[in-house]
Amino acid sequence: MLSCAERVSVHVYPPAVIDREGLHKSNLRGLRAALWACQPADVSLVDGFKLGPTAPPHRAVVDGDTKSAAIAAASIVAKVTRDRYMHMVDAIYPGYGFASHVGYITPAHTRIV
């Protein structure tokens, strides 16, 4: 899939940034950064979010991963990146189940935390 892409940009923020700025603001910041890194582009599609005037021109597509192959591919890249990160963190901090819950809140993870 990556070999078919003209450009790919992934931005990962550490937990301290997410704790300080909040998940939603961190997501928007990462989306803007990724969008800028993929410029120039004829069209920039974003899954559901309007990113405001500090972002390059883009179109927010609600449920974009079901309507656009490019958005679906970006979603897969993001999920694979997250899963790989969570497996790496699991090796550093065993016992928290990061490799099994990969960042999603589960009853088992809630009990451990």
Q: Is pLDDT above 80 for 109?
A: no
What's the DSSP call for residue 63? Answer: T
> Domains of the chain: which residue ranges?
2-112
Q: Where are the alpha helices (DSSP H) in the chain?
A: 15-21, 23-37, 69-92, 98-101, 107-112
Question: What pLDDT score was predicted for residue 80?
Answer: 96
Rounded Cα distance between 50 and 48, Å, is 7
> Tens of pLDDT along 12-71?
999 899 999 999 999 999 999 999 999 999 999 999 989 999 999 999 999 999 999 999
65's tokens: 């991963």
Q: Is pLDDT above 80 for 112?
A: no
CATH code, residues 2-112: 3.30.420.10
> Tens of pLDDT along 71-101?
999 999 999 999 999 999 999 999 888 999 8
Question: What pLDDT score was predicted for residue 23?
Answer: 92
Rounded Cα distance between 33 and 54, Å, is 10
- Of residues 108 and 60, more confidence is placed in 60
Rounded Cα distance between 60 and 76, Å, is 18
- Cβ neighbours of residue 79 closer than 8 Å, sequence gap 6 or more: none
Closest by alpha carbon to 38, among 3, 11, 63?
A: 11
